[in-house]
């Protein structure tokens, strides 16, 4: 079977028509402001898009421009980021804002190569911003997009050819609708083309999809299914280091700027040694600052101010 080099035009048209009728109406899709889109894409890393959209509106109200974000302290940004998790993303976004204001006259770059030079921005985020904010026809490939395009093209999901898949993604983007296409393929992946039990019957790309036409697709995805139960957002287990880091940050967020907070006892099931180890690792990541030791045992920490 020949390798597809692009999504067939009729399939592309069907996907775009489906998106116009059934795509998710997320708040950050109403803007083409490059800064606002960069914020949304930073939030959506490792976070469900619908949940990121809720936080995005509050964050944009607090920091409505790249200049406002650059003028903030890291502590301000970490407080505004509370609830999203993976707080290093917040600091990377703040560093990007500083770089854009100080070195780029406040203008988010449009070129993928220039976007990838900004802190915390990888290949997917750079292409997503370029496509959505600037209309550049480049394919943003994350796990959802990889699955959708890979299934349409008949790529073995166990051994995808990343460069070939990126070429397929790039060649499939309509020159005049890069933003809509980026959102549409993401929504197909999130809503229909799921890793397990894909809803092939409802997918607009089904007539052109090699997975749907295969025996696997016909047996697993082509039949009608009962409504899929939504899983509750995952919460880190109290035994994990991620949970502990979150609790440490919550304590520091509750303190006034510049105030040192003692970390001198256990937190949850984590003894003092693990608390101190987590705080030290967070300091190495730049998420907290460490201060004078607490007499007897422990240390003091605060949110960074610069």
Q: What is the pLDDT of residues 61-116, one digit of tens each?
A: 999 999 999 999 999 999 999 988 888 999 999 999 999 999 999 999 999 999 99
| Res 178: pLDDT | 97
Is 289 annotated as catalytic? Answer: no
| Res 61: pLDDT | 96
Q: HSE-up of 282 (CA within 13 Å, CB side)?
A: 28
- Distances from the Cα of 199 to the Cαs of 148, 189, 230, in angstroms? 12, 10, 15
Burial string for 9-29 (b: 16+ CB within 10 Å, else e) reads eebbebbbebbeeebeebebb
- Residue 244 φ then ψ, to 5°: -60, -45
| Res 217: pLDDT | 58
Taking each helix axis as running N to C, give the angle between helix 241-253 and helix 272-284, from 0 to 180 degrees, rounded to the nearest 10. Answer: 80
- CA angle 218–219–222, rounded 5-degree value: 50
What's the CA gap between 14 and 21, in Å, rounded? 11
Contacts of 107 (CB under 8 A, 6+ apart): 34, 100
What's the CA gap between 188 and 265, in Å, rounded? 48
- List alpha helices for the chain, DSSP H: 9-22, 34-44, 49-62, 66-71, 74-80, 88-103, 112-115, 123-134, 143-153, 162-172, 178-187, 210-213, 215-220, 241-253, 272-284
What's the CA gap between 38 and 18, in Å, rounded? 25
| Res 274: pLDDT | 93
The answer to whether 14 and 202 are in contact (CB under 8 A) is no
What's the CA gap between 59 and 79, in Å, rounded? 10
Instruction: Indicate which residue of 41, 54, 102, 171 is catalytic.
Output: 41
| Res 220: pLDDT | 52
What's the CA gap between 36 and 42, in Å, rounded? 10
With the C-alpha atoms ordered 90, 93, 99, 102, is the resulting torsion angle positive or negative? negative
| Res 232: pLDDT | 46
Low-confidence ranges of the chain (pLDDT < 70): 1-3, 157-160, 215-236, 296
């Amino acid at each position: 079977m020949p390798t597809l080099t692009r999504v067939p035009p009729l399939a592309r048209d069907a996907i775009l028509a489906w998106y116009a009728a059934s795509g998710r109406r997320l708040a950050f899709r109403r803007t083409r402001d490059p800064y606002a889109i960069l914020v949304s894409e930073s939030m959506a890393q490792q976070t469900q898009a619908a949940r990121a959209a809720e936080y995005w509106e509050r964050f944009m109200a607090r920091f409505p421009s790249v200049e406002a974000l650059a003028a903030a302290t890291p502590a301000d940004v970490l407080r505004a980021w509370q609830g999203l998790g993976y707080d290093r993303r917040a600091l990377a976004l703040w560093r990007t804002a500083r770089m854009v204001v100080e070195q780029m006259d406040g203008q988010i770059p449009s070129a993928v190569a220039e976007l990838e030079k900004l802190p915390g921005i990888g290949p997917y985020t750079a292409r997503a911003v370029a496509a959505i904010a600037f209309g550049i026809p480049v394919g943003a490939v994350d796990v959802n997009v990889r699955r959708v395009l890979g299934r349409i093209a008949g790529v073995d999901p166990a051994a995808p050819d990343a460069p070939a898949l990126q070429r397929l993604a790039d060649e499939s983007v309509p020159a005049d609708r890069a933003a809509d296409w980026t959102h549409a393929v993401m929504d197909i992946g999130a809503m229909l083309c799921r890793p397990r039990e894909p809803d092939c019957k409802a997918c607009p790309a089904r007539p052109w999809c090699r997975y749907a036409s295969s025996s696997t697709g016909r047996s697993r995805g082509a039949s009608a299914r009962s409504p899929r139960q939504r899983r509750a957002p995952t919460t880190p287990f109290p035994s994990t280091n991620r949970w502990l880091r979150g609790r440490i940050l919550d304590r520091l967020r509750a303190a006034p700027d510049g105030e040192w907070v003692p970390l001198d006892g256990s937190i949850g099931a984590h003894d003092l040694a693990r608390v101190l180890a987590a705080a030290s690792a967070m300091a190495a990541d730049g998420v907290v600052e460490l201060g004078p030791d607490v007499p007897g045992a422990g240390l003091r920490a605060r949110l960074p101010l610069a």
